[in-house]
Amino acid sequence: MAATAATVGGDGNPAGLDTAALRRTEDGYTGIPGDAAWAAEIRRLAERRDAVLLAHNYQLPEIQDVADHTGDSLALSRIAAESTASTIVFCGVHFMAETAKILSPDKTVLIPDERAGCSLADSITAEDLRAWKADFVRAGEPEPVVVSYVNTTAEVKAETDVCCTSSNAVEVVRSIPEDRPVLFCPDQFLGAHVKRETGRENLHVWAGECHVHAGINGAELAERAGADPDAELFIHPECGCATSALYLAGDGTVDSDRVKILSTGGMLDAAHRTGASSVLVATEVGMLHQLRSAAPEVDFRAVNDRASCKYMKMITPAALLRCLTDNADEVRVAPETARRARSAVERMISIGQPGGGE
């Protein structure tokens, strides 16, 4: 793997970190351990910059622990919009930092490594979406309503009527008049879940997926559930196994009370309430850190412990140090794109319980 030295500026190095070891590689910035000295320096730099540090639930444990707030993408964007800090450091992937910028256009928004993308957000472009809409109009169908999951780029949000999170997707679709076709993008598993829940025939689903969640499959889930008959199942609706879990519940293989289809925010709420001594979790493995902290007496285990998002893990201790010392990487959204995207995001916030996106 090619690595180049990366320097950090700033106002000295009171914590005595070995900043000369910082390297830029294809997989992210490396060379700085996430230890107590690093954490103290991060907190000092954040205060000096008047920055609030936000960390998504899928971040590395040391990044979650040093942040001011940890949560799902939408909850963090709302915190960003309400914060009085002039700078937002978004420890997550690029579309999340963009959403924070859309909701807080006057604040400086930084992401520790702008290469932290998302395979799901990349599965549809604004051009794809415009062509999909145009096909409907050409076929003489009523004007479709576009519903996009929050895991999309700012350009796709600008072409969208209403955004949704995994916790309010069903309510968003139910709020649309029955006679209007709905184009749902980009996640096919969440789309299938919404179609099943609403029974809506005129809901059309884009065939996108997240490579991490799609890799958590039904066969693995069935095997794990069979080996641990008393465990509850917490399943994110983006997972390839979400449909299998409902099938297993429907045919009696797994007691339907054990299966909970939940956003990451919903998982945390459920962790506080569960009476089970063990829970199988089907989502990105970073979520286990939050769940174990919330309910230490419960044995939380991953359905697939290889379900780790390489993009989320690009936000390393070295990347965060560089971000705060060099004021990089700054996230910008063109004002007209932000204006159009904002109305789709604000409609999402006004429907249901939107606090539990990915």
Q: Interface residues with ligand SF4 (CB under 6 A)?
A: 93, 118-120, 151, 210, 212-213, 284, 309, 311-312, 358
Nearer Cβ to ligand SF4, position 129 or 315?
A: 315
Contact, 113 vs 352, CB < 8 A? no
Stretch (H or E) spanning 23: strand 23-25
Q: How far is the CB of 358 from ligand SF4 (least distance, A)?
A: 5
Stretch (H or E) spanning 233: strand 232-235
Nearer Cβ to ligand SF4, position 123 or 274?
A: 123
Tokens of 298: 């419960």
Q: Is omega for the bond preceding 186 within 30 degrees of 0, making it cis?
A: yes
Stretch (H or E) spanning 201: none
Q: How far is the CB of 140 from ligand SF4 (least distance, A)?
A: 35
- Neighbouring-strand partners of residue 29: 24
Q: How far is the CB of 19 from ligand SF4 (least distance, A)?
A: 29
Q: From CA 66, how far away is CA 28, in angstroms rounded?
A: 19
- Residue 7, Cβ density class (10 Å: 0-12 exposed, 13-18 middle, ≥19 buried): exposed
What is the CB-side half-sphere exposure of residue 328 using CA atoms within 13 A?
13
Phi, psi (rounded to 5 degrees) for 130? -60, -40
Nearer Cβ to ligand SF4, position 38 or 311?
A: 311
Nearer Cβ to ligand SF4, position 100 or 309?
A: 309
Q: How far is the CB of 54 from ligand SF4 (least distance, A)?
A: 15
What is the CB-side half-sphere exposure of residue 215 using CA atoms within 13 A?
15
Nearer Cβ to ligand SF4, position 6 or 118?
A: 118
Q: How far is the CB of 164 from ligand SF4 (least distance, A)?
A: 14
Nearer Cβ to ligand SF4, position 152 or 325?
A: 152
Q: How far is the CB of 299 from ligand SF4 (least distance, A)?
A: 23
Q: How far is the CB of 313 from ligand SF4 (least distance, A)?
A: 9
Which of these, 225, 259, 223, 264, lies nearest to 242 by C-alpha position?
A: 259
Q: How far is the CB of 154 from ligand SF4 (least distance, A)?
A: 15
C-beta neighbour count of 328 within 10 angstroms = 16
Question: What are the start-end ranges of the E strands in 78-215?
Answer: 87-91, 108-110, 145-149, 162-164, 182-185, 203-205
* Helix (H/G/I), strand (E/B), else coil: 184: strand
Q: Which long-range contacts (CB under 8 A, 24 or more apart) does 15-18 make?
A: 15/40, 15/41, 15/44, 17/41, 17/321
- At position 252, the amino acid (one-letter code) is G
Q: How far is the CB of 302 from ligand SF4 (least distance, A)?
A: 13
Nearer Cβ to ligand SF4, position 30 or 283?
A: 283
Nearer Cβ to ligand SF4, position 19 or 99?
A: 99
* Helix (H/G/I), strand (E/B), else coil: 194: helix
Nearer Cβ to ligand SF4, position 70 or 274?
A: 70
